[in-house]
Homo-oligomer: A and B are copies of this chain.
Amino acid sequence: MTFSEENYLKTIYHLTTHLNTEISTNAIAEKMETKASSVTDMLKKLAEKDLVNYKKYQGVSLTENGQLAAKMIVRKHRLWEVFLVEKLDFSWDEVHDVAEQLEHIKSEKLINKLDTFLGNPTEDPHGDPIPDANGNIIKVEKQLLSEIGIAKKTICVGVRDTSTEFLQYLDKQKIALGSSIEILSKEEFDASLHLKVNNQELVVSSKIAGNLYVQLI
């Protein structure tokens, strides 16, 4: 499988887990910053290889084969992110681009030994689940902070936006995976939240709250 084919599969996989319908050509094109015509060409090729179900004008979904292949790429991406943070001392906002490259290294032995070396982690540095060697994923209950009621006590367990800007904002506010977050009050006007984060009070916008995953304690 080529570098490019792998990136298409991964994109379709991510779009499928967020939305839950057939994926449109344009959605793929937008996410990959390419043109719809290029997407169409690739979808034909992937369909030929039985990696996607594709009917003209009808959108696309992953086949069993395609889904497993996509999960293996995601597995590699997230394991490498763990490696970079845990072993090489990268910060969580620096790992994505390097992992985008490392995810395409082809060696089952490598990825499984890496998995062992890292202690078979189930989540990456952003709280996203890591598929095991068979593609199984441990699903953890989590909700967006924006969807939680007042006076609830929670733990931060993930981020929805993984951009450098957002992650660095969280660093600045000392919010990390594992931080305790209590919702003190919500401002009606703009849905901003008054929080207690690790015993420090903090006000965050609804945009921030809509990108933080938490678990109720």
Residues of A within 8 A of B (CB): 84, 87-90, 94, 97-98, 101-102, 105-107, 109-110, 113-114, 117
Is A105 within 8 A of B110, CB to CB? no
What is the CB-to-nearest-CB distance from A4 to chain B, in angstroms, rounded to a whole number? Answer: 13
Q: How far is the CB of A92 from chain B (nearest CB, A)?
A: 14
- Asked if B89 contacts A113 (CB within 8 A), the reply is yes
B88 x A98 contact (CB < 8 A): no
User: Out of B87, B97, B106, which one reaches A101, CB within 8 Å?
Assistant: B106
User: Would you call B94 and A101 a contact (CB within 8 A)?
Assistant: no
- Contact of B117 with A107 in the complex, beta carbons under 8 Å: no
Asked if residues B90 and A101 are in contact (CB atoms below 8 Å), the reply is no
Nearest Cβ in chain B — how far from A98, in angstroms? 5
* Bound Cα distance A105, B95 (Å): 13
Which residue of chain B lies nearest to A97 when distances are taken between CB atoms in the complex? Answer: B107
Question: What B residues does A114 contact at CB under 8 A?
Answer: 88
Cβ-defined contact, B98 with A107, below 8 A? yes
Given A89-B113, A98-B105, A102-B105, 12 additional A-B pairs, CB 8 A: A84-B110, A87-B117, A88-B110, A88-B113, A88-B114, A88-B117, A94-B109, A97-B107, A98-B109, A101-B106, A101-B107, A105-B105
